[in-house]
Homo-oligomer: A and B are copies of this chain.
Amino acid sequence: MTQAHISSEEEIKERTSGWLSRLAEQGYRITGSRRAVVDVLAEAGTSLSPAEIYEQGRALHKQLGLVTVYRTLEKLEELGLVQRVHRPDGCHAYIPALHGHEHLLLCQQCGRMEYFRGDDLSELSRRLEGESGYTIKDHWLQFFGLCAQCQ
């Protein structure tokens, strides 16, 4: 059964502190700059490019440098806490990582983003394997449209 989902305040708080403790656990120091990057991205309702994170992050920690944004994203990605997505416009952006088998639904207007689970492509996948001779390992699936506010 499909299930679309937006993060609540509650979940965002937990996500933020979860990411920070995960960083600390790995021996990384918790600095104002890292906190800013984590805060911005953990509560993002849209995917954010490094430049966008930098811009928003400076509101929280004015001396934040773009270089540190990149470095922090790298670490968060290594720990599986965030992931890179491709935007239709071609630029790279980051989102809180999908858990297990989830996909994205994106608003073409405002960039708002929802996660969903419950897609079942196994039959299609099996048919394709038969016809093509490929062994299928993975798939990318993303839906685009207009969110309730934007229609």
Contacts and interface: CB of A to CB of B under 8 A. Distances in A.
Interface of A: 2-4, 84, 86, 90, 92, 105, 107-108, 114, 116, 118-120, 124-125, 127-129, 131-148, 151
Given A90-B92, A141-B139, A105 B128 contact: yes
Question: What's the number of copies of this chain in the assembled complex?
Answer: 2
Given A90-B84, A90-B92, A141-B141, A146 B134 contact: yes
A133 B147 contact: yes
Given A2-B124, A2-B127, A127-B2, A146 B140 contact: no
A69 B92 CA distance: 23
Contacts of A141: 139-141
Given A4-B128, A84-B90, A124-B119, A143 B138 contact: yes
A139 B145 CA distance: 9
Contacts of A147: 132-134
B107 A134 contact: yes
